[in-house]
Structure 1
């Protein structure tokens, strides 16, 4: 069975090895007998149908470079999110799904408005290793952002901060989850460090309740060691 993964803005949004999340998904699919096709979608290109859409992180200048284009893609993104397609968005890619980004100089960048949250820039940079609890187990990653994200009461965070800053360093929330859309500030890349989260995303993109077990002894050992180190 072929699985289609769309990588949105692979050239502009790819900080801290975020594309490693795709490599992780592809490998875990392969070990279970699935082939994956990865389609890169850049500025000026339409978003095709997909099983998983991935958006990586970027700095303010990259966000500004794609701003006009992402607004042209806003309707399609909102459609896929609310339909329940599986999406993973990291840091800047996560911010893009919200209503706007208010920079520290006061200028406002309108975004897709696909989900009811917004981000405000701050002078304090939130950087370091992070651990947060989720319904899929504790997640470990690396965060580096100056944006503070505030979720509407109508949507839920992906997790609750145990160590680190999370969405805004104020309310102990981290990321967002809405239907099958996952947003997080965790780089790393995050999925190789957290096989349970990777498998939850795979289950949703395949539309299955369970997966064939694979040998995760080393991955789980690494995950446990990182949790112990950072908490």
Structure 2
């Protein structure tokens, strides 16, 4: 059972958030919400609340009208069957997503939606699921499943921790740079020691677990970018991340 809100649900912002509210959209929580990906949305909401901002949490499922005035987009992972279910709807909203991406809307794309924001995903049986071309990457289903804890190093976000579980092997085009260099684990594929991708204000990654609770620097990048675009500034009084640091220490110590 999904831990996301029911279809069409909207979690209202506080009645009078002192610094304003951000509209956070989760894409396809019915089919693309495995390995705790909805936890990324909860982290964004809580880190806003700690700083005096509100959050409106919206969702878009297949067949829904795409909402207006979105400040931040989050997409999660799903099985190949889930990607097939959403592909027609994703293609229908592709031009909107491309426009938002090029305009600088911050986005977090995990696993399955990371793949489908690329050019295509060719499954192991040869089925081609077209992507929407926001990210210049392609994914091919492999015979080896890449599973386990990951530690990667990013010049932008420091050390990144997470958990991967995917058979798709993703290769970046010339227009993308990796999110991080893998220190433990596989990442995008079994060959290159790269994890994820960065393009404009988009963060793409294979890391579940959820990603953001153990990686608050990425969460704050997304929030700061969204707030500065909407309000002109991000008023940050600081957050106590000692528990996140403890979680990171434990994650780093776990075997692959």
TM-score, normalised via structure 2 length: 0.87
User: Contact 1:156/1:178 (CA < 8 Å) preserved in 2?
Assistant: yes
**Deviation digits for residues 52-107 of structure 1, max 9, x if unmatched?**
10111000000001111111111111111111100001000111100101111122
Within-5 A mapping of 1:72-151:
72-134=92-154, 135-151=156-172
Structure 2 SS opposite 1:7: strand
Matched, 1:217 2:247: no
Residue 45 of structure 1: CA displacement?
Answer: 2.0
Residue 224 of structure 1: CA displacement?
Answer: 2.6
Matched, 1:50 2:70: yes
Gaps of 5+ in 1: none
Aligned with residue 64 of structure 1, among 61, 64, 84: 84
Structure 1 SS opposite 2:52: coil
Aligned with residue 173 of structure 1, among 191, 194, 197: 194
Aligned to 1:10: 29
Aligned to 2:5: none
Counterparts of 1:33 and 1:158, CA distance in 2: 29
Aligned with residue 37 of structure 1, among 51, 56, 59: 56
Counterparts of 2:247 and 2:134, CA distance in 1: 35
Residue 230 of structure 1: CA displacement?
Answer: 4.9
**Deviation digits for residues 170-195 of structure 1, max 9, x if unmatched?**
11111111010111000000100112
Aligned with residue 201 of structure 1, among 222, 247, 252: 222
Counterparts of 1:132 and 1:172, CA distance in 2: 9
Q: Name whichever of 155-164 and 205-214 sits farther off.
A: 205-214
Residue 210 of structure 1: CA displacement?
Answer: 6.7
TM-score, normalised via structure 1 length: 0.96
Aligned residues: CA RMSD: 1.4
Structure 2 SS opposite 1:54: strand
User: Contact 1:163/1:230 (CA < 8 Å) preserved in 2?
Assistant: no
Structure 2 SS opposite 1:167: coil
Equivalent pairs, count: 231
